[in-house]
Amino acid sequence: MCSPFWGAVIYNASMEFYKYQSLGNDYILFDALRQPPPLAPEDIRTLCDRRLGIGADGIILIQPSTRASFRMTNYNPDGSEAGLSGNGLRCLAKHLYDMGSITGKEMAVETHAGVRTVKLQISLGAVHGVEVNMGKPDFRRSSIPMTGEEDEAVEIAIDVKDVSLKATCLSVGTPHCVLFLESLDDSQFCELGPMMEHHPLFPLRVNVEFARVLDMSEISLRSWERGVGETASSAAGAAAVVAAAARTGRCKRLAQVLLPGGLMEVELSAEGELLTRAPARRVFRGKLDDDWRERGRIIVA
């Protein structure tokens, strides 16, 4: 592994937070429904730092929306704004249900990529899983964006260092470059991940998915996220891999994606939409110290 994995964090405006994780993918989530938290890019970097702050794969703000029940805004650990996060939506939905902010099994959330539908799998009053509709995959280069003359980049060769890799590139609300490989060791992953993320073909950088097809219904995946690095799981990455595999005849429309953080089910529906299914868990709650910006220290309640 290139880095350790932790859980997901949810904050509100009073600086109280709840720690959540979805297959090891973690987020610091602020309740910004009444008052946006005063976070500068350097604050985001500090909070996401696993030594100076709490540690996370990103920060999410819950905001009011005129188009849906809520709006989600997502930031990368480097302070840049990210796109759609399926695992972040999972943590957000479970938190809102557990806190009594929603009572039904379905909700709509506005994201940078548009409105997304989230369905809760509830048994005996508890959320055991969350299905997130990631929308339809878009294989156009312009949607990624990606340079090149052809309209799409399906099964194309990309040269990086002294290696030529066959890739399929697409957008699922965030840009992805999917590489189907027979094998991959840690050193290759940690070297090729950042090189592909910053490849000149992708002017806004790209998320890189290293996939190995086990059979027509099962795929092994390691994700390198732009502005993050390796993550324990990525719903957008898993969705992109299944879309690319189905497009190139490598898998069926329903597949299990094996990630370092666990198993995620991905379905390409009859309507062409990508549905991801996985659990989300709350780990603990706490409060930030008043001087967290200086010392990044945390008090756990």
What per-residue confidence (pLDDT) applies to 297?
46
Q: Are strands 126-133 and 156-160 parallel, antiparallel or unpaired?
A: unpaired
Give me the residues paired with residue 198 across strands: none
Q: Domains in the chain, start-ordered, CATH in brackets?
A: 8-132+280-300 (3.10.310.10), 141-272 (3.10.310.10)
Q: Average pLDDT for residues 131-149, to the nearest whole number? A: 97
Answer whether 121's CB lies under 8 Å from 127's CB.
Answer: yes
Q: What is the pLDDT of residues 92-103, one digit of tens each?
A: 999 899 989 998
Residue 85 tokens, joined = 């996060």
Question: Could you tell me the pLDDT band of residue 127, with boundaries at 50, 70 and 90?
Answer: very high
What tokens appear for 144 in the block? 């990624």
Q: Summarize pLDDT for 174-193 with one digit per residue, the tens.
A: 999 999 999 888 988 999 99
pLDDT at 166: 95
pLDDT at 167 over 60: yes
Stretch 278-290: mean pLDDT? 87
Residue 301 has pLDDT above 70, yes or no: no
pLDDT at 13: 43
Considering only residues 246 and 228, tell me which one the structure prediction assigns the higher pLDDT.
246
To which H or E segment does residue 228 belong? none
| pLDDT for res 218 | 98
This prediction's pTM:
0.90
More confident residue, 287 or 215: 215
Which residue's entry shows tokens 């709006």? Answer: 71
pLDDT grade for 20, boundaries at 50, 70 and 90: confident
- pLDDT above 70 coverage of the chain, percent: 93
Q: How far is it, in rounded angstroms, from Cα 56 to Cα 51?
A: 11
63 φ/ψ angles, rounded to the nearest 5 degrees: -130, 160
Chain mean pLDDT for the chain: 90
Q: Is the pLDDT of residue 288 over 50?
A: yes
